[in-house]
Amino acid sequence: MTSPSLLTPAALRRTSLDAVLGFAWDAEAFTASDVIESVGLTRSTTIDVIDELVARGLLSELPNARAAGDYRKGRPARRFAFRPDAGFVVGVDGGQSRLTATVADLRGEKRAVCHLLLDPHMDAADVRREAAARVVDEALAEARLSRGEVLALCVGVPAPVNRDGVSPPHRDDFWRRMNPDFRALFGEWAPIVRVENDASLAAVAERAVGAAVGYDDFVTLLAGDRLGAGVWVDGRLLRGAHGGAAETVAFDHVRGVDGAWGLGYRAADLARRALAAGSLSRSSALRGLDAGEIDGKTVLALAAAGDPDAAAIAAQVGETLAIVAGVFGSLFDSRLIVVSGAVAAGAGPVISAALDALPEELDLPAPEIVASTLGADIVSVGAVRAALDAARSGVLDLPAFVAAA
């Protein structure tokens, strides 16, 4: 770590700018005294830095206390506020069969959300790149914004992603089809671009605004058709050398799980098997469905409503979830497992069964298991948070704001 006494004037100035902007980004209306109390700079430096951030377009000066009706006596203090509309971010869920783009301001307030359904079998690189560009442009159009107003963009993909936004080779190149160099695609016009694993972004969302707020050790499971895991340990998101930390192909080798199929897929598969075998009871609503009508959401909704056969299926899936949670709990000593994604809304019966079986699966204290409340768009929510983090780190270096200094 560099000693403060050895910092150059330019470095000291940048440190002051970062500190004041960081305070302002999270504050409501404030005065120079508020900044001094929080950041610890001298009054002259504080006022100078605030004026520079106003000139750069990141802060605005508000009417003073007298004009705001809050003046009592003495000289009214100057008041300032962060400008959340100084730029915008885009978070993209680059799923195999559905793309979602969310546009938000610099406080994370949504301006627009757009979805685009894809044929999962039409996953050639050029098709996915064109579709991703289209859904982003549609979201920007709905928000009445241009590409030039975007400061940072983040894409989540169902593949491992390294620190450079690149996915490693795969046996049938699936990972690189899911991530056909999105960083280069959006880097043609977006100043800051991140590409991340989708389950990792789900974990980012849960820790920022979901069930894992305040947790430093937890696992987020995307658990619809396939399992994906985002893992936090000691307050840090795990990535690995190639972005493959907690890659769920490992469950191919775990007895009682035997693959990375998600909870929704498993519930639907068990229900279809029972229907084909004629083993469903006469009272089960599942008997009245065609195999093509059965999906995980339907099975879990019937389980929650008390359908005995659906409840038995949910309990069986819950036993599998207990093994999955036990593996993660043993490997990472997690305090919490969050079942996330669209399947979370109906996961109550599965989680209840998993909690009953979990103590037998590990020697460490059993983690909590809870359902996410962030819904099917959780990956794009996490992508927005990651884009905001990137914008906060890099905004002072962007030409739009440097030029105005």
pLDDT tens across 37-88, in order? Answer: 999 999 999 999 999 999 999 999 999 765 555 555 556 789 999 999 999 9
Relative to beta strand 98-105, strand 59-62 is: unpaired
CATH level 3 topology of 4-82: Arc Repressor Mutant, subunit A (1.10.10)
| Distance (Å, whole) CA 234 – CA 332 | 10
Q: 3-state SS of 332-364?
A: HCCCEEEEECHHHHHCHHHHHHHHHHHHHHCCC
Nearest to 135 by CA among 177, 186, 184, 178: 186
Q: Hey, CA dihedral for 355, 357, 361, 364, is it positive or negative?
A: positive
Confidence of residue 241 (pLDDT cuts 50, 70, 90): very high
| Distance (Å, whole) CA 382 – CA 90 | 11
CATH level 3 topology of 88-208+379-402: Nucleotidyltransferase; domain 5 (3.30.420)
pLDDT in tens, 304-351: 999 999 999 999 999 999 999 999 999 999 999 999 999 999 999 999
Confidence of residue 404 (pLDDT cuts 50, 70, 90): very low
| Distance (Å, whole) CA 184 – CA 141 | 22
Domain ranges of the chain: 4-82, 88-208+379-402, 214-373
pLDDT in tens, 11-40: 999 999 999 999 999 999 999 999 999 999
Of 4 and 308, the one with more pLDDT: 308
| Distance (Å, whole) CA 381 – CA 6 | 41
| Distance (Å, whole) CA 161 – CA 163 | 7
| Mean pLDDT confidence for 173-187 | 96
pLDDT in tens, 339-395: 999 999 999 999 999 999 998 888 899 999 999 999 999 999 999 999 999 999 999
Confidence of residue 122 (pLDDT cuts 50, 70, 90): confident
Q: Within 13 Å and on the Cβ side, how many CA atoms surround 80?
A: 26
User: Do 4-82 and 214-373 fold alike per CATH?
Assistant: no
- Residue 246: DSSP 8-state: T
| Distance (Å, whole) CA 24 – CA 280 | 60
**Domain 214-373 CATH assignment equals 3.30.420.40:** yes
CA 107 from chain centre, in angstroms, equals 15
Predicted local distance difference test score (pLDDT) of residue 360: 83
DSSP string, 366-379: PPEEEE-SS-TTHH
| Distance (Å, whole) CA 37 – CA 276 | 70
pLDDT in tens, 229-240: 999 999 999 999
**Mean pLDDT rounded to a whole number for the chain:** 93
- Predicted model pTM: 0.92
- Residues facing 94 on adjacent strands: 99
Predicted local distance difference test score (pLDDT) of residue 405: 42
Kindly state the greatest CA–CA separation across the chain.
85
